[in-house]
C-alpha cells in the first residue's frame, strides 16, 4: 500500500462553468494542506445542488439531496465522511461512509452526489494520494485561471445593468428573490442575491 493510499483531506475551492464541456461545471477541490487542486466535471443539476447548500439558499421544496439528508436523519444515520477512492477512464468513484451509531457502512455514490451530501452533512471529503498525484493540478501562487470563487461571481457574467435588477427597489428585489426561489430558478436567485449584497456593502 505505502504512501499511495494515504488519505488526503480536500476542501471545495470553487465551482465554475466548465470551459471544455457545455452545460457542465467544474467543481474544484483542493488539498487542505497543499497546493494541488482536483477539478471534477459535473452536471448543472449537481452543481446547483452543491452551490445552493454552500450559499445557504433555501429552495422552496427539498431538492433530492435535502430529501436524502432528511431521510437519513429520520433514521439516525449520519454520513461521517466521503472518500473519492478511485479514478478510472476519467471518472471519479466515491463512497459515503455512513454510521447509525453502531455499525459503519460504505455506500457507493457518484462523486457529484457525494459532495452535495458532504456539504449538507458538513462532513469531511477525502481522496487518496494516487488520485491526487495523477489527476491533481499544482497551483503556482493562488491563480487558478478560470475559477472564480463561489462567493464572488464572475463580473463579466453580469453586465453593468445587471439584467435590470439594479433599477429595482430593495423590496422589489427581495420579492423577486422569493419568486426565483419558488420557481427553482437558482441562477437568477444568485444574481438577485448578489445585487442585494452589493447594496448592503455600499
**What confidence tens digit (pLDDT) does each residue in 38-63 have?**
989 898 888 989 988 888 888 888 88
2-138 homologous superfamily: Bifunctional nuclease domain (3.10.690.10)
Q: Which residue has the higher pLDDT, 92 or 144?
A: 92
Q: What is the DSSP string of 122-190?
A: T--EEEEHHHHHHH-EEPSTT--TT---TTS--GGGS-TTGGGGGGS-HHHHHHHHHHHHHTT-HHHHH
Distance CA 138, CA 22 (A): 25
pTM of the model: 0.72
Q: What is the DSSP string of 32-48?
A: TTSSEEEEEEEEHHHHH
**What confidence tens digit (pLDDT) does each residue in 68-113 have?**
999 999 999 999 999 999 999 889 999 999 999 999 999 999 999 9
In this prediction, residues 175-198 reach a mean pLDDT of 82
pLDDT at 161 over 50: no
- Position 141 confidence tier, pLDDT thresholds 50, 70, 90: low
CB 153 within 8 A of CB 186: no
Q: Which residue has the higher pLDDT, 69 or 187?
A: 69
pLDDT at 181 over 60: yes
Residue 57: what pLDDT?
85
Sequence spans of domains, the chain: 2-138, 155-201
Q: Which cell is 177 given?
A: 428573490
pLDDT at 154 over 50: no
Distance CA 52, CA 185 (A): 11
Residues 6+ apart with CB under 8 A from 102: none
CB 74 within 8 A of CB 68: no
pLDDT at 149 over 80: no
Cα four-point dihedral sign 112, 136, 6, 149: negative
In this prediction, residues 161-173 reach a mean pLDDT of 76
pLDDT at 16 over 80: yes
pLDDT at 66 over 90: yes
- Position 195 confidence tier, pLDDT thresholds 50, 70, 90: confident
pLDDT at 200 over 60: yes
Give the residue among 76, 130, 138 at the shortest CA–CA distance from 103: 76
Amino acid at each position: 500500500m505505502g504512501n499511495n493510499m494515504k488519505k488526503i483531506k480536500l476542501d471545495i475551492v470553487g465551482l465554475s462553468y466548465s470551459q471544455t464541456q457545455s452545460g457542465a461545471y467544474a467543481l474544484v477541490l483542493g488539498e487542505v494542506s497543499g497546493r494541488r487542486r482536483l477539478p471534477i466535471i459535473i452536471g448543472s443539476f449537481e452543481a446547483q445542488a452543491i452551490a445552493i447548500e454552500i450559499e445557504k439558499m433555501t429552495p422552496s421544496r427539498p431538492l433530492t439531496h435535502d430529501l436524502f439528508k432528511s431521510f437519513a436523519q429520520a433514521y439516525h444515520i449520519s454520513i461521517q465522511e466521503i472518500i473519492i477512492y478511485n479514478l478510472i477512464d476519467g471518472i471519479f468513484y466515491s463512497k459515503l461512509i455512513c454510521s447509525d451509531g453502531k455499525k459503519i457502512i460504505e455506500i457507493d455514490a457518484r462523486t457529484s452526489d457525494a459532495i452535495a451530501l458532504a456539504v449538507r452533512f458538513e462532513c469531511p471529503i477525502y481522496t487518496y494520494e494516487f488520485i491526487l498525484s495523477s489527476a491533481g493540478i499544482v497551483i503556482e501562487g493562488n491563480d487558478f485561471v478560470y475559477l472564480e470563487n463561489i462567493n464572488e461571481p464572475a463580473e463579466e457574467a453580469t453586465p453593468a445593468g445587471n439584467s435590470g435588477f439594479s433599477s429595482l427597489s430593495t423590496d422589489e428585489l427581495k420579492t423577486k428573490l422569493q419568486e426565483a426561489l419558488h420557481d427553482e430558478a437558482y441562477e437568477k436567485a444568485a444574481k438577485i442575491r448578489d445585487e442585494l449584497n452589493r447594496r448592503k456593502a455600499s
